[in-house]
Structures are given as structure tokens and as C-alpha cells.
Chain A
Amino acid sequence: MIFVELAVAGIMLGGVYALISIGLTLIFGVLRVVNFAHGEMLMLGMFLAYWAYTLAGLPAWLTAPLSIPVFALLGWLVYRLVVRRTLGMGDVVQIFATVGIGVLLQNGALVLWTGDFRTVRGDYAEALLRIGGVQLSLPLLVAFAVAIVVSGILFLLLNLTLEGKAVRAVAQDPISALALAIDTDRVYMKTFVAGVCCVGLAGVLLAPNYPIFPAIGVSFGLVSYVVVVLGGLGSMVGALLGGFIIGMIEVVSGYFLATALKQALYFVIFVLVLLVRPQGLFGQRGAETMGFGKIV
């Protein structure tokens, strides 16, 4: 029985990690930019859910759709003001521009809301479901379902629509895409906005299950980088599968190891992946050094 519970918990956690990582891999796959502020954007989503609940009594599932325009605006602003100017620039610009945004967001949250741990409570946050003798947290189940639905929608958009085709074209070869009259700047903007919306949504949906404080983005950010590297940089399928693998490993190891050591485990996995299969499970060979790949 304990193994069934562990397996279920691992799959759920994996869905959560997948949801966090989708936005990161999408942005990287198309813009070739690693968003170092990814974890901090997740943290903002958690705070949004916290304040929506504390001030207006909204449960996280209701805040989730409302969060999309908020994060679309944030993504648009960050793209227009910063990320757009870093495209095609050297490493120092690409890395430290988003590192700077991350520092700004995390400490802005610290100044505004202090470092106290906060929690979202209420009926929805504390709801438990019983399925075949296994207890599940309802918010986690919702987050899991949203992860599947969101990646399904993105997959369909990318594969069935003309705009999706344009995004894939830009991901494969921006110069040729430009020659085919694709507005690459718009594609980059839309992709970045979509990626930020994904991570914001993830933050809102995970708020009921985790303590909320300004530095929480650091460890989640780290997990999402490990997931994306494991799954293959820029690969959506890889992000999903990588999420499930890391989720399973974390739950199973958490049963045997002290929880504090689980992050050390991520690093071991990180290094092992880089040694054994540096392109990740679904990435193309050389993606980690050259930055090429395909997104679906």
C-alpha cells in the first residue's frame, strides 16, 4: 500500500514540476534565453493567490484564470523592456539581465511583504480526496490536471495552427523565418508571454500546498532547471516526462532520505544527466552547448 501511495504522490508532484517547467522550456526553445527569473515569477504567482485569498476570499482555482492577464502583462513588460534587448547578445547580457530581474522581484517581494512564511487556508486549500484508499490533496490534483491540459493545449496550438507553425519555424531558424515574412519579434513576445503565464499559473495553483515567502522561487527555480535539462532543453514532451521522473525520484528518496538532502540529490541527477546524456532525454545532441533544438 505504501508503494501505491508513494507512486501516486510521485506522479502528482511530477505534474506540479512539469507545470513549472513548461514555461521555462518553451521560452528557451524559441528565444534561446534561459529565464533566470523563472522561480521568482512562480513566487509572484503564489503571492497573488495568497493576496486574492486573504483580501477577497478567492480560492486558488478561481484566482488561476484571473492571474492570466496579470502575468501576460508582466511577461509583456519584461519582454519589451529587457528580454527583447538581450536577444542575439553575448552571454553576459543574456544571463545577467534576467538574473537582475530575479534579484529585483525577489527582494521587491521581501521589501513589500517581509520574509515571513505565509499559508493559504480555506476549504479548497485543505480539501482532501479519497480515491481507492489513497488520500490526495485536491489543489495538487487540480494543479496536476492543469499541467496536463496546458501542455496539451500548447501542443495542439503549436502543431495545428498557422501561428504555432510560425513559432516552430522561428525556433528552428529565425533568419529563414524572417525571410518568410514571419514577424519574429511578435513570435518572441507571444512565446515569452505564454511562458510567463504558464509559470504564474503554476504559482497560483501551488500556493495552497507550500509555504509562501520571497525566497521560495530559488529552490523551485532550481528544480525546474533540473527538469528541463533532464527532459531535453526546449522540449515540451521532455519537460513533462522530466517532471514526472524528478517527482518520482524526490518522493521515493524522501521516504528513505532526510528531506533536506533532496536538493543535493537534484544536483547529483543534474551532473549525471550532463555526463551520460548531456542533450537530455528528448533534446537534440549538442543542444546544451549550441542551443539548437526543436520544441515539440
Chain B
Amino acid sequence: MTSARPAVLIAIVLALAVLPLTTSNGYYQDVIVQIYMWAAAAAAWNLLGGYAGQFSLGHAAFFGIGAYTSSLLFLKAGLTPWLGMFAGGALAALFALVIGYLSIRLRGPFFTLSTIALAEVLLILAVHWRQLTGGAEGVSLPPTPDPVNFTFDDRRVYGLVGLGFLLVTMGATYMIERSRLGYYLVAIREEEEAARAVGVPVLRVKLIAAVVSAFLTALVGTFYAQYVLWIEPSHMFSLDVSIQLALIVIIGGLGTLFGPLIGAALVIPLNMFLRAWLGAAVSGLYLVVYGFVLVLVVLYAREGVWAEVRRRLRPAGPRSVQEPA
């Protein structure tokens, strides 16, 4: 589906880069930063979920590992999060390799279940291992702006840095999409047995996707920590975070380059609007909307909202062939 020309891509990147600079309103800046951040994490999820068809609901584990590793390295060893994030990414990748080796042979919902369990275990360990993680109260990072240590006083800078993270994950997606690996992934998603029969090294390819996806998710986890400057286990490792990543990609379009960005541009403003509008009194309501939207989209717009809108807009043209489930 994605065959965007380089000129179009450059124009889109420039527009995204200018966007945070166009407003001086802190709230809108926050919305933009969060869209870029969640789109970046969702794009990382998309590599495993969208392209390889392995639906993880445990990606909060990698997000949390990234955030905790860089933050703890900074607080306890003084290492700048710019470098610490690679340590977090490496740790998450290692984790994905070990856990993936055990669980990636499971298919469909059983793989998903094992990923939920994994994130739950990390949540418990993060709460329990107080000396290291600060337990349930979480970890605060010093709020003093210091670019060397990945903290800025201007949200517009966060917007640009967030865009950088988005470009890295989308760039990785772009390269994988066009590589042999990308074709292997799609082959596994569409028909695993057939892929195996024609010689695709299924286990190895799935593991590579899991490791790259985990690494990139952890990098965005560090960005989250540096942006919010406070992390706690019950949010970082929560099922809600994992579901949000999946929801963004499913709404935007699974296994597409721009799906995560489109999904984030729809989901994040909705989330923030509902939270601001309804306030803390009904804190769960945006998640009620998430659940409702998730059910509707998987039942009625499986290729994502964007593909569905385009189909509706040209009813006369040849309809894209509905793939058999």
C-alpha cells in the first residue's frame, strides 16, 4: 500500500518538523509531542504486530525497561540518558530474545497471552524490587533543563526530538518493508506453514522482528521518561500502555508505514481531549472509549480507518480485494 515517493516523504517530514513550531500554546505543543512519541512506539510495535502478525500485548515491558534503565543509570551512575537509552534498548532486546525464544512458537492468542503475562511479571518485579526501582512510588528525574542530559525547558524542542524518534522507527520500518526480511515477515503473517515450506527461517525471522521491535520501543520509553520526568511501575508496565500501542496501529492500519502516525494522530488527541474535558472525576472514561473503538475497528474496518475512509471516498473505483481471514 505504501509507495510514497521520496519527494512526498520529504515534504511530510518537513511539515511534521514545522508543526511544533507553529504554536506557542503549551497544550497544543503537548498534544504534538505525545502524538510523535506514541506514533514512534506504535511504529515499533507495528514491526512485530503489523508486519509479522505476532500480536504482543506486553510491549509495555520494553517501554518500561527503556524508561527505567536510562533513568536509573542517570540517577545512580550519572550516565546521560542519550547513552543510557541504548543500554535500555539493549536490555529490552536481550529480554525479547530470551522470552521470544520461549514463547514465539506459540500462535495467535497464546502468544498474546504469554506477552501479557511477561509484562505483568515485570510490573510485579518493579514494584517488589524497591532498592533498585523505588517501588510503587516510582522514580523522579531532576526537572532542571539540561540538553546534555536530555531535558529541555521548551516543549517545541521535545517536539523535534520526538520527531527524531519517530523518524528512526519509521525509517527502520521503511527499510525493513523493502528488504528480504520484510517479505519474510509478511509471508509469515499471511501463511506461516507456506512460508516455512518455501524456506523462510520462521523462528529466526520472528525473533529478529521481536528484538528490533523491543529495542525501538525501549528507546521511546527513555523519551517518555525524559519528557514526563516521572516513571512508576503501575503505568510503565501496564496493560493499558500495551493496548494503546496496539490500538494506535490497528486504527491507523496494521502493517503499513504511515499507519502508526495516522493512528496516533487520531487516538492521542481524542485521549487528551477526553481527559481534559471530563477531568479526573471519570478517569476511566477515555479507556471505555478505547475499548469501544477497538471492537468497532476490528469488526468493521480491519485495514484501519484510513484505508476504510479511502475506500468509502471512491465507491465507483475498483474495490480492493478483501483478504480472506
| A, B assembled together | yes
A218 CA to B292 CA in the complex, in Å? 19
Question: A residues engaging B (CB < 8 A)?
Answer: 34, 36, 82, 85-86, 88-97, 99-111, 214, 218-219, 222, 225-226, 229, 233, 258, 260-261, 263-264, 266-267, 270-271, 274-275, 278, 288-291
Assess whether B287 is in contact with A99, with CB atoms less than 8 Å apart: no
Task: Give the distance to chain A from B252, nearest Cβ to Cβ, in Å.
Answer: 13
> Chain A residues near B120 (CB, 8 Å)?
218-219, 222, 263, 267
CA distance A214 to B116 in the complex (A): 18
Distance, CA A97 to CA B299, complexed state (A)? 7
Residues in B whose Cβ lies below 8 Å from that of A229: 110, 113
Q: How far is the CB of A142 from chain B (nearest CB, A)?
A: 29
Minimum C-beta distance from B114 to chain A (A): 7
Total A-B residue pairs with C-beta atoms closer than 8 Å?
141
Residue of A nearest to B323 (CB): A90
| Cβ contacts under 8 Å, A100 to chain B | 290-295, 298
Name B residues whose Cβ lies closer than 8 Å to a Cβ of A: 53, 55, 57, 102-103, 105-110, 112-114, 116-118, 120-121, 124-125, 127-128, 239, 243, 246, 250, 254, 282-285, 287-288, 290-295, 298-299, 302, 325
Q: Contact: B114 with A111, CB < 8 Å?
A: no
The answer to whether B285 touches A271, judged by C-beta atoms less than 8 angstroms apart, is no
Q: Is the CB of B302 within 8 A of A107?
A: no
Given contacts A34-B109, A264-B125, A271-B102, contact A92 B250 (CB under 8 A): yes
17 pairs from A and B in contact (CB 8 Å cutoff): A93-B302, A95-B108, A97-B298, A102-B291, A104-B292, A104-B295, A108-B288, A111-B288, A222-B116, A226-B117, A258-B128, A267-B120, A271-B103, A274-B102, A274-B103, A278-B105, A288-B110
Which of B117, B293, B294, B295 contacts A266 (CB under 8 A)? B117
Minimum Cβ distance to chain A for residue B5 (Å):
29
Contacts of B103 in A (CB 8 A): 271, 274
Residue of B nearest to A219 (CB): B120
Asked if A91 contacts B239 (CB within 8 A), the reply is no
Q: Main SS of the interface on chain A?
A: helix
Whether B109 lies near A96 (C-beta < 8 A) is no
Complex CA distance for A242 and B127, rounded to whole angstroms: 28
Name B192's closest neighbour in chain A (CB-CB): A289
Which chain B residue lies CB-closest to A262? B124
Q: Is there contact, CB below 8 Å, between B108 and A91?
A: yes
Q: Are A89 and B108 in contact (CB under 8 A)?
A: no
A103 touches B287 (CB 8 A): yes
CB <8 Å contact, A110 and B283: yes
Sample of 14 more A-B contacts, CB < 8 Å, known A96-B250, A97-B294, A264-B124: A34-B110, A34-B112, A91-B108, A95-B112, A96-B55, A103-B287, A103-B294, A104-B288, A109-B284, A111-B285, A229-B113, A261-B124, A270-B117, A288-B106
